[in-house]
Structure 1
Amino acid sequence: MSSAPIGIFDSGFGGLTVMKDIVDELPQYDYLYLGDNARSPYGTRSFETIYHYTLECVKYLFDQNCHLVILACNTASSKALRTIQQKDLPNIDPERRVLGVIRPTAEVIGNYSKTGHVGILGTSGTVNSRSYVMEIKKQFPGLTVHQESCPMWVPLVENQEYDSEGADYFVKQHIDGILSHSKKIDTLLLACTHYPLLIEKIKKFVQDDITILSQGEIVAKSLADYLNRHPEIERKCSQNRTRRFITTDSTEDFDAHANVFWGDKINSEFIHL
């Protein structure tokens, strides 16, 4: 079978944490990861800019024969996914698919909460979009959703300070912030692909009875279910167990940082968009 990998897109490195869980769940497929590091971060950019960048990257992955693309970026999922699905895909190729990370999480988060109060920890772009609030309300109308923007968490991770003593201040600041919304919060979602690297720090400032959710495993199981329900898409995804990594910035920088997220050495390729 010719190469038709599953495309995975992120604005930088964080999506590798999602890809890692997807590969663990579905190792038989080929995967092509694209990190738009040259234009990262997306979190503070306008809707129009994020949409333009994301669409450009999706088109590139389509050109690489990807029939299915996963936006493993919360900001892109919240600000660009719906427009791409509804406006662009019908014109580009109605038989291709672009999926995000917000809906799979929204479909299950209510199952973890006993009190009916959940907290969302994300970038400014994700929080301001209110995408999680809207999607969760569709699935669990009775759930109360609280949000907290954590602008320093991504820089901490990307500068490999996530395990430093200095990280404690910024982690505690936002954990205290989200928990101050309500004493009933019993579930926290790490709504950014960088945040799982901070999970040990987060646990230090969270009571034992609060559940902390990372997206990777949820998205991986959702994708497995999606492919099972959509054989017309699944059979277009090649199964040679290959993994390619592409960046729009320095490959040396990407490879040096990416192993923190991927857990193994990476040899990336450069492309100019």
Structure 2
Amino acid sequence: MKLSYKAHGKVILLGEHSVVYGYNALAMPIKSLWLKATIEPSTILWMDTALYHGPFLAAPAEYDGLKYLVTKLLAKTNSQQLIKITYTGKIPIERGLGSSATVATATARALNDYWQLNLSEKEIITMINHAEMINHGKASGIDAATVNSDNLIFFNKKNGALQLKSKLKASLLIMDTGDLGNTQKAVKQVHTIVANSISARQNIKKLGNLTDQAKVAWVNQDKQQLGQIFNLAQDILHSFNLSTTKIDQIQNIALANGALGFKLSGSGLGGIVIALCANHEIAEKIADLSHNLIVNQWIEEI
């Protein structure tokens, strides 16, 4: 028996960092970025990835979240059959595109189907979130919610995920700076600043409020307003020292060439940036002008 499950990535539009403090966040699935987990029988518990080929439980520490998932699910089955898991497809790691949540989702759902465990949706999401906690130290749950959705997600830790099926009728340019982000470092950095600054705590609240405004702008198909919200959010994220010289350079190019709004997405300190554009042509122009500063780009019609 051989079985596969394919999961997609995600991008956070608004609310990164503030979502950790209980405020709302807005995120969307990126179908063009995906990863597939394929399960088949084996004589040893084995893993094949682009970077590691070997015994599953002997994999390096960066695979600890996956080790937890496989061990947890293996304990739920009565099968003595060992397996090989092969991962194909590619999502750039440590860029804010949800790579670890995507891998965890593909793994958990493939194993659930392979071993016919009939786990509930809540059980699966809980395990994925726990794997995320192992990977990142602290996880809001938004990555797991979004990579497991086909629609825009309005999310907070208390109420979970609300799916929004409406379209903005705009183009979102996603650009990879090629610089690795560091979620743990960024979260700790923001935590330290917030703990020692009243104005920083107010800015976290403002980020949450901007997300609420963004939801209204999206539903009303108000691209101009959403662009302004992007720019305000970027100012706040910049105040937490999450931007970089390269991100600032890309921002200047984007805003000078027709972007309605621009911001980093995810933890910051590198990773990806997003530019809201009125149409595909503007997005292509900005990507072309930024080519010396980025290693890849994707345009999503939203």
Q: Give the TM-score of the pair, scaled to structure 1.
A: 0.28
Could you say which structure has the greater relative contact order, defined with CA pairs below 8 angstroms and 6 or more residues apart?
1
More strand by share: 2
- Larger C-alpha radius of gyration, 1 or 2? 2
